[in-house]
Structure 1
């Protein structure tokens, strides 16, 4: 049994969607950031980074979205969510997810979590002011260079799609107009119609016990 540690409206949604897509047996555990549960000893024993997602497996705990998504694709090859038989194509997939993780998501984080990089309130305010431009430029590159259509990598739906969808959920809050990203916006709309996406969203937004 796999265990996903998540917080609603976080990048953990991508892993949650893929767990649903592959039909994995799993349970989900809410890490409530509003109660600072990510800083509690109980959760730090699971993930010392104090972030989500974390995926507990029979061999240990995995962190970082690209690693979790690749693990799920490889653990459930019958789902066909990655080109596992083509090293170059799999590396291309990893390159896309790495960009989403290390550049696009970090640009978003500057709007909400500037304290990670600075203590000066003026510097934090400047990072927040700059975030719409940085996020917009990162998404523009995805739209122009990385998105092949109709899915991220072309005709095949892969683990890149839930990840892009998750980050695209935050476009408006990040001050980016989806109208300027027609491919990304249409992808977001179609992703929202997938049963696995609907199940993951419903589970994350359900009232906690």
Structure 2
């Protein structure tokens, strides 16, 4: 393989200054998210992909998950509640999220605390998923060992027989072990790549234990060195 140390990209498409920052972290996130989407899939393949880091008794764990909602409360994701990530949140609700929009030379880093979303929100979202994804949520004992991929295929086939695709959102019920987490942020950092590694880092920090993302008075703004 090549020497990773020899690979360099010199950023410098944009400059992020305080005067250009939206008044709230929600407005700034929505602006950058929309621009990542507008850049196209060839540049930013999945704008809603984010790295979720958790910690449990064995240490830190990170994985890529998908953002399924964002509002004044925070950032929402869904998962199997028996998974490693869910167990980690149960051990310690402090988590971090990173959106790596490298095609537009940007990152958004979030620090906060995760809490389970109300069950009615989980059921509403689950009903909106494609039929195959709903079957998959039942078929997979997420994070548990499995002897072969065919085991999951066979389990999914059995579930499709149990709950045929009728075209109704009610054809596959929400698993009791499946749910969502809301990450209530206390810090949201907007990172813009610049030339010579002199990157811009503007950070919204909650003035209390956590703030509503759409309330400017709940946040202070500062710049950090790259």
Q: TM-score range by the shorter chain?
A: under 0.3
Please report the TM-score for the alignment, with normalisation by the length of structure 1.
0.24
Please report the TM-score for the alignment, with normalisation by the length of structure 2.
0.23
- Name whichever structure is richer in helix by fraction: 1
State the structure with bigger RCO (CA 8 A, min sep 6), 1 or 2: 2
Larger-gyration structure (1/2): 2
- Name whichever structure is richer in strand by fraction: 2
